[in-house]
Amino acid sequence: MESIESIRTNFRFTDRDQENLRKIGELIAPNLDSITDEFYDYLTQNPKTAKYFQSEKAIQHRKETFKGWLTEVFASKYDHQYLLRLQKVGKIHVKIGLKGYYVDGAMTYVRELLRQQVSARVKDGVCDEELLTSLHKALDINLSALTSSYQEEKLNNLFLSQNVESKLVSVAGRMLYGLNLILVTGLLAMALGVVGLLCMDIYTAFTDEFYYGMIKALGSLLLLWMMIELLHTEIDHLQGGHFQVKIFVELALVAFIRKVFVASFKTTTPLEFALPLIGLFVLGIIYFFVARVEKPKGRHH
């Protein structure tokens, strides 16, 4: 946590701001109760924050502490003691498992409530800009102190140091990217292999058995099609898209379909024909479940 001197300099908080806050405090004093009620209505409207206020007693107690905080925003000296009190409140929020995100949102709500109050009470409805500027500074300082505990909690939870951990994450990320590039290269080589297979099948069709060669070539074409799909998926993944397991199962399915094509020509025993069929059946079941879990693929063009 920064020192109060550093905070006052950084937020350009002056004695004049302190004086302005005192004036705002006087302006809104008659409405402290209604502001507090509105704030708690806001908290109880969101199920994520409402769950912290189960009993009427807890609500009443929190209303009192909130009112105490609000009074302090305008009456306190912005000194080291005040900072310590805010930090204590921040630590309580961390302890009850409340995300800093909700404190940020709540402060925006409080800011708007107070801005309306100040605007409504300044002479002839003309708002004194200087008062509002002081109000914003005070709420920013409060928010910064309230949420500083989250940052400290994060640092306490580090296993090594922040520097070492972020470097490790960055090295791991780069290695993963490198491994994915190797995978793409391997897939490209495989795709070229399938093109070779296709050429051989066509060659068989014209030089040896025509039907057998053509059926094999059809199977190889299916394989090539799947290889292209697989490459697309992998490139999508490298560009930040979701990884699709389904496509790997599809590729295995096509490989087995090709085997069934070939087996229908060359099989000598029923078992040799049955094996690829059983494999196909099992893969079909796996595909059914994987496809149910994974959402349809969207490609980035």
Q: Which amino acid is it at 218?
A: L
Give, for 220, the enclosing helix (H) or strand (E). helix 210-238
Nearest CB to ligand HEM, comparing residues 93 and 246 = 93
CB of 44 to ligand HEM, least distance (A): 9
Are 283 and 253 a contacting pair, CB within 8 Å? Answer: yes
Backbone angles phi, psi at 85, to 5 degrees: -65, -40
Q: CB of 184 within 8 A of CB of 231?
A: yes
**Token reading at 255:** 């490989």
* Nearer residue to ligand HEM within complex by CB, 49 or 233: 49
Choose between 75 and 92: whose C-beta lies nearer to ligand HEM: 92
Per CB under 6 A, contacts with ligand HEM among 81-110 are 88-89, 92-93, 96, 98, 102-103, 106-107, 110
Q: Is 126 in the site for ligand HEM (CB under 6 A)?
A: no
In the bound complex, what is the minimum distance in angstroms from residue 27's beta carbon to ligand HEM?
19
The tokens describing 205, both together, are 């069709």
Q: Site mask, ligand HEM, residues 164-203, x = CB under 6 A?
A: ----------------------------------------
CB closer to ligand HEM out of 112 and 165: 112
**Is the separation of the CB atoms in 214 and 257 below 8 Å?**
no
Minimum CB–partner distance for residue 229 and ligand HEM (Å): 48
What DSSP assignment string belongs to 154-204? HHHT-SS-HHHHHHHHHHHHHHHHHHHHHHHHHHHHHHHHHHHHHHHHHHH
Interhelix angle 129-156/56-75, nearest 10 degrees: 120
Least Å from the CB of residue 112 to ligand HEM: 11
Rounded distance, CA 204 to CA 167, Å?
55
Applying CB under 6 A, the site for ligand HEM has a residue count of 18
User: Site residues for ligand HEM, window 25-84 (CB under 6 A)?
Assistant: 43, 49, 52, 62, 65-66, 69
CB of 170 to ligand HEM, least distance (A): 33
> Least distance to ligand HEM from the beta carbon of 114, Å?
11
If the CB atoms of residues 28 and 257 are measured against ligand HEM, the closer one turns out to be 28
Considering beta carbons, is residue 49 or 134 the nearer one to ligand HEM?
A: 49
Which of left, alpha, beta for 276 (phi over 0: left; psi -120 to 50: alpha)? alpha
Question: Within 13 Å, how many C-alpha atoms sit on residue 76's CB side?
Answer: 19
Which CB atom, from 5 or from 37, has the smaller least distance to ligand HEM? Answer: 37
CA distance 174 to 288: 34
Residue 61 vs 167, nearer CB to ligand HEM: 61
Q: Which residues bind ligand HEM (CB under 6 A)?
A: 43, 49, 52, 62, 65-66, 69, 88-89, 92-93, 96, 98, 102-103, 106-107, 110
